[in-house]
Structure 1
Amino acid sequence: MRILLTNDDGFFAHGLQTLYNVLSENNQHDICIVAPEGQRSAVGRSITLFQPIFVNNHKLKGNDYGLAVNGTPTDCVKLAIQGDILPYQPDLIISGINNGPNLGSDVFYSGTVAAAMEGVLLGIPSIAVSLADYDCEDYAPSAQFIKELIDGNSDFIHYKEGLLNINVPPLTRNAWHGKRVTRLGRSVYDNAFEFRKSPNGKEYYWITGTLLYDEEPDTDHRAIQEGYVSVTPLHCDLTDYTRMKDLEKAKE
């Protein structure tokens, strides 16, 4: 399979490099990495319009191909698919493995999910993968899980109309309770903005706050809490069809 890897944590992020090392074992797949040169978390679906996009080549194993881009995750996928910079079109795009969860409403801010969504918009099956803990550094179980989906030719990875948002609990593989297909939960940020001054007297604000999750039983949040891999299908069509019907009736 021809695979494009990307992320929002940067080309050299541990999660991305672990995923590459696992997927590149035995040379079963052709793999390209096109990822931001550094940290681009929480940039959502932003793209670069008013400055140039620079690219640096990085040698990978064999004929695999690596590019670090000074843009956003969405830039990376757009450039990879539409910029004629790769030797082939990928069969699958994988964004991750992200450092930290992408659950519930967080998907609207996530650069990881945004990169996968761009793949969907360009007609390529795409997966976003996150390790649902900021302090856990063992990405191997998550990478092995994705490898098994790919090597098993799972139906999970061939759907072009939407992406799969996969979150993996920060547990050893034998501690998982399995995988659960879920819906997005609701994340509410009780934000505060701390007023501060820099040493030279310039005023600025620093965002802080508490993240609150709902705990309904069929959500991605609940699956992670209970030790399951959460698999949430997402679609790029944000149309509220129920509201459409209501509005159609209102104008009659």
Structure 2
Amino acid sequence: MRVLVTNDDGVYAPGIAVLTVFLAEAGHEPVVVAPDRERSSVGHAITLNRPLKLQKITGPYPEAVAAYSCDGTPSDSVVLGLEEIAPDIAVVFSGINKGPNLGDDLTYSGTVSAAMEGLVFGRTSVAFSLDCREEDGERHYETAGTFAVHLLKWLSDNPLPTGVLLNVNVPNLSPSLVKGVQITRKGIRAYEGKVNRLQDPHGRTYYWVAGRVEDELVEGTDVWAVAHGYISVTPIHLDMTHYPSLEILCGRGLAEIDLERRALPDRESTS
């Protein structure tokens, strides 16, 4: 099977190299199009205000793999990959990301957004992330790579529903230590002390957005599964409409607002 492989850590990152090697060794034909440098947390950004460039590379990939760097975002890479390099490809794999994409982090993630762009093009799309930290002495990308190969085989027999992608998060463990796979919902990941107010040597104020991770470890969520040693697979869809609210908003008269009538405050409520 031909697979477009991309990421947001950059085309030379170890995660995308491992994913590509595992796919190639399993007999698939990966085609790599990824940013030429790290573009983490750029979300679903598309470059519209300047030209984009593609450059064929060799890098850490097997000789038989066609690999290209793109000087744009992860979503740009998918657009160029599917429009210019390999329009016949039916599957987009994004990752393996260095670090998790759990809870609300997936809204910022370039890794997940690249998979979303694949979904926009009607392709089967999956985002892979490894739950590793900077202080981890070893990063088990091979665990995510192994699961990716198994998942691709599963997808060939079990097509995803239209408009749905998979967000996969893998604990930073060797394959033998992973407890299993859980199908999860998006959990809640917050950041304590997210905005830090600091001063430079000249006394000027600047801000650093960071914070300590605070997960709500509720069973059945992605954050709980990975924290307990499971691979988390979360189905995600792009239709963000909250359908139960459609009837509520209509029933409360929102659709009946008359723009020709001046909106004045209720005298009784303000007296």
TM-score (norm 2): 0.85
Q: Alignment partner of 2:9: what SS?
A: coil
Q: Alignment partner of 2:67: what SS?
A: strand
C-alpha distance 152-211 of structure 1, shift in aligned 2 (>3 A): closer
- TM-align CA RMSD: 1.9
How far residue 2 of structure 1 moved from its aligned partner, in angstroms, is: 1.0
What's the CA shift string for 1:97-130, capped at 9, x where partnerless? Answer: 0000000000100000000001111100000000
C-alpha distance 98-156 of structure 1, shift in aligned 2 (>3 A): farther
Deviates more, 1:104-113 or 1:72-81: 72-81
* Aligned counterparts of 1:69 and 1:159: Cα–Cα separation in 2: 30
How far residue 189 of structure 1 moved from its aligned partner, in angstroms, is: 2.0
* Aligned counterparts of 1:241 and 1:152: Cα–Cα separation in 2: 31
* Aligned counterparts of 1:104 and 1:157: Cα–Cα separation in 2: 25
Instruction: Show the 5 A alignment for 1:72-91.
Output: 72-82=73-83, 84-86=84-86, 88-91=87-90
C-alpha distance 105-155 of structure 1, shift in aligned 2 (>3 A): farther
How far residue 205 of structure 1 moved from its aligned partner, in angstroms, is: 2.5
Instruction: Show the 5 A alignment for 1:1-252.
Output: 1-25=1-25, 28-59=27-58, 60-61=61-62, 63-82=64-83, 84-86=84-86, 88-134=87-133, 135=136, 136-153=138-155, 155=157, 158-190=160-192, 191-197=194-200, 204-251=206-253
Q: Percent of aligned pairs with the same residue?
A: 38
How far residue 85 of structure 1 moved from its aligned partner, in angstroms, is: 2.8
How far residue 90 of structure 1 moved from its aligned partner, in angstroms, is: 1.1
Q: In the alignment, is the contact (CA less than 8 A) between 1:149 and 1:156 conserved in 2?
A: no
What's the CA shift string for 1:77-105, capped at 9, x where partnerless? Answer: 111122x233x421210000000000000
Amino acid at match of 2:38: Q
Q: Alignment partner of 2:245: what SS?
A: helix
Task: Structure 2 unaligned segments of length 5 or more: list them.
Answer: 257-271
Amino acid at match of 2:123: I
* Aligned counterparts of 1:156 and 1:234: Cα–Cα separation in 2: 16
TM-score (norm 1): 0.91
Amino acid at match of 2:116: M
Q: Alignment partner of 1:24: what SS?
A: helix
Task: Structure 1 unaligned segments of length 5 or more: list them.
Answer: none
How far residue 194 of structure 1 moved from its aligned partner, in angstroms, is: 3.0
Q: Name 2:260's counterpart in structure 1.
A: none
Q: Alignment partner of 2:46: what SS?
A: coil
* Aligned counterparts of 2:93 and 2:231: Cα–Cα separation in 1: 16
* Aligned counterparts of 1:133 and 1:188: Cα–Cα separation in 2: 18
Q: In the alignment, is the contact (CA less than 8 A) between 2:21 and 2:62 conserved in 1?
A: no
* Aligned counterparts of 1:47 and 1:39: Cα–Cα separation in 2: 15
How far residue 24 of structure 1 moved from its aligned partner, in angstroms, is: 0.6
